[in-house]
Structure 1
């Protein structure tokens, strides 16, 4: 993952919790049903959970409240500081990202929200292969992220953002690595996952992928 994104996460750390509550009109639709989305991810998690992109710890709290054993991975030092202020003192929170992270032992479920798009599609494919090797058969990925139905749908959302003078949102949509359903489905199949995609709001889809094959191609 680019170090530029880590700098961005440091900047976001001060305003992230307010933004997810819908206080910023540019990102209001992206975070619509935010609490419900976190709940849906937590409901699917089981066993030892590896969470990528802990951020300020909002999903982590739900996972811990469910009684799950959770290991967190986060690249931003400022986000880590924010998360630690909310989470138990003994919570295992490691410095790392989707591509580079310390050994965490046996993992049953890998989760993430609003973060996988910081990888290019090529990096996403490599990461999914890595997770397939880490997970046992029937182990799960549960990711909630901006995933467009098509390249045309993404283009239309950029045009809408510009029309509404949502300059920051338009820039994000043009420069970050949001993928499409077809691309993500192909990556999951190649890595040996069966999967379901469930739309959660205008931008976000919930990916539930189960490892069904040890023969990645």
Structure 2
């Protein structure tokens, strides 16, 4: 459920905001157009939003500034603390993950996440999508921005490129986590009652917009 990466999240909590703003060369391409990616997720979202993987609160902050009601879920205590330092008591961020989380006290119309869904195995991803399909009414949406690849060959090529550039942390991350391919994701969303589109946002990240049919 992604919680096997909690030790990593604790480390990332201290450097995440610097990385997303281009201060870590290894991850510069991963976070290219970061603000535009978050803004697009906000634009695609409805009024009552459930956000998984709040992290340090960057997307949450943009959602709130756009007047949306946000229910935040974040499994990492250090990440929640960073988000609290940024957002104060403007939003409640609760302990939970993509598969086990406290339910909001009102119906939601959008489920969002950025840079986090790849922490689930493919089996867990499908479990999550199935669960969200039961939560959302017709027209409800899942809007994820996350690293994915056109096929396994494209993934393997990115690992080779990272190694050739000496980006050993990036290469290890790519091999350690569960990065999906677009055909697998499309099959999952379709199976559980969603129409889905994929739009590339940078060399790594795709915007996934799935609408409940």
- TM-score by length of structure 2 reads 0.98
Task: Give runs of ≥4 in structure 1 deviating > 2 Å.
Answer: none
Structure 1 partner of 2:141: 140
Q: How many angstroms apart in 1 are the aligned matches of 2:145 and 2:61?
A: 16
Is 1:170 matched up with 2:171?
A: yes
Q: Post-superposition shift, 1:88? A: 3.9
Indicate the larger mover: 125-134 or 101-110.
101-110
Is 1:6 matched up with 2:13?
A: no
Q: Matched residue of 1:89: which SS? A: helix
Structure 2 partner of 1:215: none
Q: Which runs of structure 2 are paired with 1:18-29 in the superposition (5 Å)?
A: 18-29=18-29
Q: Show structure 1 runs of 5+ residues with no match.
A: 213-217
Structure 1 partner of 2:157: 156
**Contact 2:2–2:97, Cα closer than 8 Å, also in 1:** no
Q: Post-superposition shift, 1:86? A: 1.1
Structure 2 partner of 1:101: 101
Q: Post-superposition shift, 1:72? A: 0.2
Q: Post-superposition shift, 1:90? A: 4.0
Structure 2 partner of 1:66: 66
Q: Matched residue of 1:170: which SS? A: helix
Structure 1 partner of 2:85: 85
Q: How many angstroms apart in 1 are the aligned matches of 2:136 and 2:150?
A: 27
Q: How many angstroms apart in 2 are the aligned matches of 1:40 and 1:165?
A: 32
Structure 1 partner of 2:111: 110
Is 1:53 matched up with 2:48?
A: no
Q: How many angstroms apart in 1 are the aligned matches of 2:205 and 2:2?
A: 22
Q: Post-superposition shift, 1:2? A: 4.1
> For residues 1-42 of structure 1, what are the alpha-carbon distances to aligned partners after superposition, in whole Å with 9 as ceiling and x for unaligned?
143212211110000000000111110000000000000000
Indicate the larger mover: 86-95 or 37-46.
86-95
Q: Which runs of structure 2 are paired with 1:122-137 in the superposition (5 Å)?
A: 122-137=123-138
Q: How many angstroms apart in 2 are the aligned matches of 1:11 and 1:96?
A: 19
Q: How many angstroms apart in 2 are the aligned matches of 1:2 and 1:65?
A: 28
Count of residue correspondences: 212
**Contact 2:50–2:70, Cα closer than 8 Å, also in 1:** yes
Q: Show structure 2 runs of 5+ residues with no match.
A: none
